[in-house]
């Protein structure tokens, strides 16, 4: 593993069934800077993707990766991946500021790109990616793991789509993360490399709001970042918050922070509260504090009562299979390109507002 702290390597396994035959969906992994690459590859492999090859400039990182995914051939250069016509998609978790540039290369090589979030660190990068997507017809897919790789969060989307809470009026996300400062690489604390806490872990939260509330746009009411407790890391933000109003009137508030207490059994006690016109949902995404860890729990309260829905190991991660089918069929059933970009855009605009 890459030593980025327990959250960074979060790569849950659950029930999964392949959506394609072996060898049908050939992909590569590259730029393993963030441990999220493990979750990304795990998700694709579990859904039937065929991991063909891996590239990283660091032999040590490649070696660690091969311990988990020994089936990957080691590519000597990134160009070898770009030039391999059998590879349909490249998954990467580069240093955030480099993700856009890598994505442009991938798309211009005729492949789809699957990047860790945040997909960009600047609005200029986003605009360039929009134009290269239009130019190449390729996909710039984003691993918004806090929904896509979380069973309670995924199931919440299904419950909402089924009308369980009526109209969604508000979403609140509380997203603490464990800092594990000693395990983080230098770039993690460099704002020019990560873009800031709202751009980074804020993008997950906005993506969840847009999904749960069914918004195609939102305005930013308030955004704030702070470095409350790490003055020795001057470029670092350990706290962020943002408030949005969706284009359909739904309200959103999110807090992101690096203050998971050392005694927490999980990297973050992530919670989502969804207020609907006919019911409410609480998601305890990774832990049911003091009671069960890991956990992935949805608590639905509606006209009939309170329903505790244990999602752990029950829901799976349908996103990955659907995403691969989207790549094959050139559809957008797993997630639209515009949705993936909009979540990033709003989080970066919130970051700009907070930066003042």
Q: Is 318 in the site for a copy of itself (CB under 8 A)?
A: no
Q: Is 246 in the site for a copy of itself (CB under 8 A)?
A: no
Q: Which region, judged by CB under 8 A, interacts with a copy of itself, from 37-45, 50-58, 186-194, 287-295?
A: 287-295
**Within 98-157, which residues bind a copy of itself (CB under 8 A)?**
none
88 touches 329 (CB < 8 A): no
Q: What 8-state DSSP symbol labels residue 75? A: P
C-beta closer to a copy of itself: residue 40 or 179: 179
Q: Is 5 in the site for a copy of itself (CB under 8 A)?
A: no
Q: Is 322 in the site for a copy of itself (CB under 8 A)?
A: no
Q: Is 233 in the site for a copy of itself (CB under 8 A)?
A: no
- Closest approach, Cβ 226 to a copy of itself, in A, equals 7
Among 123, 221, 294, 332, binds a copy of itself (CB under 8 A): 221
C-beta closer to a copy of itself: residue 85 or 226: 226
Closest CA to 136 of 100, 109, 167: 109
Contacts of 65 (CB under 8 A, 6+ apart): 29, 32, 37, 38, 54, 56, 72
Q: Is 296 in the site for a copy of itself (CB under 8 A)?
A: no
* Largest distance between two CA atoms of the chain: 60
- Closest approach, Cβ 265 to a copy of itself, in A, equals 7
Contacts of 70 (CB under 8 A, 6+ apart): none
Q: Is 355 in the site for a copy of itself (CB under 8 A)?
A: no
Q: Is 234 in the site for a copy of itself (CB under 8 A)?
A: no
C-beta closer to a copy of itself: residue 235 or 265: 265
Give me the residue label for tokens 């030593």: 3
CA–CA separation, 4 vs 160, rounded Å? 34
Angle at the Cα of 234 from the Cα atoms of 228 and 239, rounded to 5 degrees:
35
Say how far residue 204 (Cα) sits from the centre of its chain: 6
169 touches 277 (CB < 8 A): yes
- Closest approach, Cβ 47 to a copy of itself, in A, equals 32
C-beta closer to a copy of itself: residue 304 or 329: 304
- Closest approach, Cβ 218 to a copy of itself, in A, equals 13
Which ranges constitute the DSSP H helices of 52-188?
59-68, 78-82, 96-108, 123-136, 145-148, 151-161
Contacts of 13 (CB under 8 A, 6+ apart): 42, 46
- Footprint of a copy of itself on this chain (CB under 8 A)? 167, 169-170, 172, 174, 176, 221-222, 224, 226, 228-229, 239, 241, 243, 245, 249, 251, 253, 255, 257, 259, 261-265, 269, 271, 273, 275-280, 282, 289-291, 299, 301-308
């Amino acid at each position: 593993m890459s030593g980025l702290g327990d959250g960074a390597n979060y790569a849950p396994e659950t029930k999964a069934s392949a959506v394609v035959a072996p060898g049908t969906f050939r992909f590569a992994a590259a730029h393993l800077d963030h441990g999220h690459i493990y979750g990304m590859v795990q998700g694709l492999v579990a859904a039937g993707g065929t991991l063909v090859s891996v590239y990283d400039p660091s032999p040590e990182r490649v070696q660690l990766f091969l311990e988990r995914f020994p089936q990957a051939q080691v590519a000597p250069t990134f160009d070898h991946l770009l030039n391999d016509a059998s590879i349909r998609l490249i998954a990467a978790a580069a240093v955030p500021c480099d993700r856009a540039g890598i994505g442009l290369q991938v798309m211009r090589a005729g492949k789809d790109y699957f990047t860790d979030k945040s997909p960009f660190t600047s609005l200029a990068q986003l605009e360039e990616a929009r134009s290269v997507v239009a130019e190449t017809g390729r996909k710039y897919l984003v691993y918004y793991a806090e929904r896509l790789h979380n069973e309670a969060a995924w199931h919440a989307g299904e419950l909402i789509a089924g009308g369980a809470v009526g109209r969604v009026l508000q979403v609140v996300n509380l997203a603490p993360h464990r800092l594990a400062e000693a395990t983080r690489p230098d770039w993690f604390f460099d704002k020019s490399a990560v873009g800031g806490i709202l751009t980074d872990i804020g993008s997950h939260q906005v993506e969840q709001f847009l999904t749960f509330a069914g918004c195609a746009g939102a305005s930013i009411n308030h955004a704030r970042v702070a470095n409350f407790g790490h003055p020795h890391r001057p470029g670092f933000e350990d706290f962020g918050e943002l408030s949005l109003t969706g284009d359909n009137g739904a309200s959103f508030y999110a807090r992101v922070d690096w203050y998971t207490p050392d005694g927490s059994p999980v990297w973050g006690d992530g919670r989502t509260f969804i207020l609907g016109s006919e019911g409410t949902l609480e998601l305890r995404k990774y832990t049911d504090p003091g009671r069960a860890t890991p956990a992935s729990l949805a608590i639905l309260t509606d006209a009939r009562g309170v329903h505790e829905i244990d999602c752990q190991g029950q829901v799976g991660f349908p996103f990955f299979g659907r995403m691969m089918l989207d790549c094959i069929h050139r559809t957008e059933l797993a997630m639209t390109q515009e949705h993936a970009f909009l979540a990033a855009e709003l989080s970066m605009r919130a970051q700009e507002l907070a930066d003042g």
